[in-house]
Structure 1
Amino acid sequence: MRLERKHALILIGIAVWNVVTYVTFIKNLAGTSGRPTGYYVAHTVLIIVNLLIAALLGTWGYRAYKASREANVKV
C-alpha cells in the first residue's frame, strides 16, 4: 500500500494532537492529590501507551511524507 502526502500529514497531525493532549493530561494529573494509587497507575499506563502510539504514528507519517517527496522528485 502506498501512502500519499495527505495520509502522511494526517498521521503526523494525529501524533501531534496525541502528544499535546496527553502532555496537558500529565500536567493535570500531577496537580491532583488524594486519589488512590490505582488511579495514578491506571492513568500513567494510559499516558505511556498513548504517547507510544503517537510516536509510532509520527514515525509512519514522517516516513510516508519522506517517501512521497522522493517519489515526486523522481517523476
Structure 2
Amino acid sequence: MSRKIAGFLVALGAFMVVEWINLGFNLADGHDTGFYVVHGILIVVNVVLGIVLGVIGWRGLRARGRDRSAGLGQQ
C-alpha cells in the first residue's frame, strides 16, 4: 500500500468517526422512536467502519516505515 493511500485511509477514518459522532449529538428531539433506532444503527456502523479504515491505514503507514528502515522500500 502506498503512503498516500494509507494516509488517505487514516484521514477518512478520522473524518467518519468525528462526523458521525457529531451527527449523533445533533439529532433534534421530537422524532419517532424508529428514527432514533435507524440513525443509532447508522452511527454505530459508520463509526466502526471509520475505525477499521483508520486501523488499516495506520498499519499501512507503519509497515511502509518498517520497510524503509530495513532497506526494503528502495526502488
Q: Show the counterpart of 1:43.
A: 39
Query: 1:26-55 CA deviation, whole Å, 9 max, x = no partner?
Result: 1101xx211100000000000000001001
Show the counterpart of 1:23: 21
TM-score (norm 1): 0.90
Counterpart selection for 1:62 from 51, 58, 61: 58
- The TM-score, its normalising length taken from structure 2, stands at 0.90
Q: More relative contact order in 1 or in 2 (CA 8 Å, sep 6+)?
A: 1
Q: Give the fraction of aligned pairs with identical amino acids, expressed as a percent.
A: 32
Could you tell me which runs of 5 or more consecutive residues in structure 2 were left unpaired when the two chains were aligned.
none
CA positional deviation for 1:5:
1.2
Any gaps of 5 or more consecutive residues in structure 1?
none
CA distance in 1, matches of 2:2, 2:9: 11
CA-CA distance at 1:24 after TM superposition: 1.2
- Higher helix share goes to which structure? 1
